[in-house]
């Protein structure tokens, strides 16, 4: 009897460890563009955004993000603004359920086709996400 209890306990512990080793994932909740008025010039500007949600709250995050905002002209992309940043959360508070990203704002020209490419890598959870958003 004692052996079977130890065996069952061992199986449960191994199953829990195996479950915790399974990676965290994330899913896009929302992506698009928003406008604002430039306080210096009074012109309308456009920025792109992305919201990602983790399937469960990770213990730590280490996010590396790159934005490239461009205009499409004659079938090619002309980069208007770029941004790259890394956010490490060394305290690992375990409170991050979703994350949001906002590109640099640009001043669009009427009739132009604009887009933004974002790549996000969470090194702490071995996750990668890439998205192209159009305006």
Q: Read off the pLDDT band of 5 (50, 70, 90).
A: low
Q: Read off the pLDDT band of 10 (50, 70, 90).
A: low
Predicted pLDDT at 75 = 86
What is the domain partition of the chain in residue ranges?
23-134
Q: Read off the pLDDT band of 17 (50, 70, 90).
A: very low
Predicted confidence (pLDDT) per residue in 99-129, tens digit: 899 999 999 998 899 999 999 999 999 999 9
> Tokens for 108?
């669009």
Q: Average pLDDT of the chain?
A: 85
Which residue has tokens 């980069």? 79
Predicted pLDDT at 89 = 73
Fold (CATH) for 23-134: Immunoglobulin-like (2.60.40)
Q: Read off the pLDDT band of 2 (50, 70, 90).
A: low
| Interacting residues of 92 by C-beta distance below 8 A, sequence separation 6+ | 59, 60
Phi-psi group of 86: left, alpha or beta (phi > 0 → left; psi -120 to 50 → alpha; rest → beta): beta
Of residues 1 and 66, which shows the higher confidence score? 66
């Amino acid at each position: 009897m004692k052996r079977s209890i130890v065996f069952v306990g061992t199986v449960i512990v191994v199953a829990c460890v195996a479950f915790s080793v399974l990676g965290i994932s994330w899913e896009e909740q929302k992506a698009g563009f928003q406008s604002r008025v430039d306080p210096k010039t009074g012109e309308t500007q456009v920025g792109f955004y992305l919201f990602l949600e983790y399937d469960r709250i990770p213990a730590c995050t280490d996010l590396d993000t790159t934005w490239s905002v461009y205009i499409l002209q004659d079938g090619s992309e002309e980069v208007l603004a770029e941004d790259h940043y890394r956010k490490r959360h060394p305290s690992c508070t375990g409170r991050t359920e979703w994350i949001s990203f906002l590109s640099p704002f640009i001043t669009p020209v009427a009739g132009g086709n604009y887009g933004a490419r974002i790549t996000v890598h969470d090194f702490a959870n071995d996750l990668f996400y890439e998205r192209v958003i159009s305006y």
